[in-house]
Copies of this chain bind each other. A is one copy, B any other.
């Protein structure tokens, strides 16, 4: 069942306190759908419904809840229930919850954990945010390479229940060094007598380290189309496993960061609605001020051409039109290049091929806008009934400036991300607003220079 659960029916049963009917309905629901329902309820009802769930479903449902509902349940449920949930939930989901809570609460909650789970929680919390360690689960199964498949299968039946995944199990030596992996596929297809060592191939194993960035893990999952990857320490000892289901979330977070950076905002790192207004302002103010200070150069450029302006006010009329076209073509180019870089479609070494493409595109696009621009100026003058040679020249000035500015915008937008990348910086920092600002200042200089050349002695 995909989509939002039908609330009216549920609401009625809650009002009528018909818990047995609710329990029957919930029996058919997936934990994620239960979690969505509970998140949508007012805080005082969340615990009532949550207590209706069987223990194992309750823990899984809890894992899917949003942070606010989790926090509410931690206070509303009995200590016994909280203890059960915290001890039985996936280590990686628990880390995600604990890292959001205030330190004093975390200390209280850690006391509820068994010694084993306490050690795990402490270890995982020690990894930095956005590192592979925070996604890692220490609940994996490992077997020895001299076992046969039958032994492995028996081992799984006894010890497999707590393992985060059974789609892959790992092969280690007597010291815990990772020696290979056994896919569920291989387990299911081999004859029971086959030895583990006949199946695994040590050279081909792909590993992660706990301190690596989560984006590295995402790359590896994409590249190797796998459902789980082992995490090893610097000596090659197996310490945990990361599963593919976390990767779609990492991909989403990375995308959000990229988009926000490109929109000229610091990455929010939290949902829009969860940020306080002062935080929201802070995330936006820095870039906005930087761009504003940069854009001040336009005022200086304009002041430089004050004499020309005084002689021909009409020149001012077209400034916003002209500079914004440069900004728009610049954002387009930056968007294309930043994305192609991050997909690995192009590299910095391709700069010359890119520049050639962008020069041609810029000239063509500038030509199209220039043509429309000339037409607009001349048509307007005709409509007002004063089409003179001066207006024709004014039109040509606008047209030529547009070609120059669109070309310049396209080049800035495409080359700036490559330069940043070359210098080891994040190309996404050359956000659309940043390119637009850069192009605005130059646009004014180009426009007035063309005007000076063409209109000298006529308007100027």
Contact = CB atoms under 8 A, between A and B. Distances in A.
A305 to B, nearest CB: 9
A414 B282 CA distance: 17
B191 A166 contact: no
Contact of A369 (B1, B289, B319, B329): B289
A321 B335 contact: no
Interface string A153-190: 10011001100011100000000000000001101111
A157 B437 contact: no
A131 interface: no
B369 A440 contact: no
A319 B296 CA distance: 10
A425 interface: no
A351 interface: no
Contact of A263 (B166, B260, B291, B331): B331
Interface string A225-258: 1110000000000000000110111011001101
A444 interface: yes
Contacts of A223: 2, 32
Given A272-B345, A331-B433, A319 B320 contact: yes
A317 interface: yes
Nearest to A220: B2
A295 B320 CA distance: 8
Interface bracket on A:
35 or more
A113 interface: no
A332 B264 contact: yes
A210 B30 CA distance: 23
Contacts of A313: 306, 309-310, 313, 316
A126 to B, nearest CB: 25
B203 A188 contact: no
Contact of A327 (B271, B310, B433): B433
Contacts of A361: 277, 280-281, 284
B336 A292 contact: no
Contacts of A328: 264, 287-288, 291-292, 433, 436-437
A285 interface: yes
Interface string A68-89: 0000000000000000000000
Contacts of A327: 324, 327, 433, 436
18 contacts: A2-B220, A28-B204, A30-B204, A32-B223, A32-B224, A160-B189, A167-B167, A167-B184, A167-B227, A184-B184, A244-B244, A263-B336, A264-B328, A264-B332, A272-B336, A273-B346, A292-B373, A302-B320
A76 to B, nearest CB: 24
B299 A353 contact: no
B292 A372 contact: yes
